[in-house]
Amino acid sequence: MITANLATIKARRHTLQDVVDSLRQQVDIVRVYGNDYLPVVKGSNVQIFTGCDYTDNSKFFWLPRSRGVYLSCDDDILYPENYVEIILKALKKYPNTWLTFHGRKLGGMNLPYYTGHHVYQCLRSVESDYQIDVPGTGVSAFHTDTIKFDITSWEDYRMSDLMVGLELAKARVRTICLKHKMFWIKSAETHLLESIHRREYKNERQNQIANTIYSLVSSSR
């Protein structure tokens, strides 16, 4: 079973169908969690949910009960037609690994999260495969045999990348950012009015979690 799983908000309702359409021919099921409304999305293999507002963490709402290849996706990204094909090949190359096309290699302790670490971006070229510490959860994939966690136990919101990075560090699961070309993955929006990056740019809690992750991964090397 291959599932694509994403959280959404009402502000992204105009691009949501395009995002889902870029995924639904490549997977068995697309699951959409509406945090602040009940989304309307077409597709015979699309499942719609709503409930408590877990913010971007909601893309992992189904993980405790899922089996198979789990794609965590964002509601503002258009995925290429060979996205899942590339992921399945990479899972064979890197078994028991969390795969992503975006993320950060932490550079040390007490550094600002957004500006103090090395960033590999999904919307730009990444020239090789790199082991990193914090995955971009909007462009990630893994097999559920590798790791499971329950987002309802998390106390932090609007920082799912870091929360997943923390879970991976605790479980000692490797994270690989896969090589890709610019424009292979595209933004569904020309402006990101509801960007978590914009809202959480100076959130000190992010720096604290990054410090914890860095400490855990450094001790395991």
Count of all residues that appear for the chain in the document: 221
Eight-class DSSP state of 170: H
pTM, two decimals, is 0.94
pLDDT tops 60 at residue 196: no
The number of angstroms, rounded, from the C-alpha of 35 to the middle of its chain's C-alpha atoms is 16
**pLDDT-derived band at 191, boundaries 50, 70, 90:** low
Q: What is the pLDDT of residues 8-67, one digit of tens each?
A: 999 999 999 999 999 999 999 999 999 989 999 999 999 999 999 999 999 999 999 999
Which whole number is the average pLDDT over 85-92?
Answer: 98
Q: What is the pLDDT of residues 124-160, one digit of tens each?
A: 999 999 999 999 999 999 999 999 999 999 999 999 9
User: Residues 74, 119: contact at Cβ < 8 Å?
Assistant: no
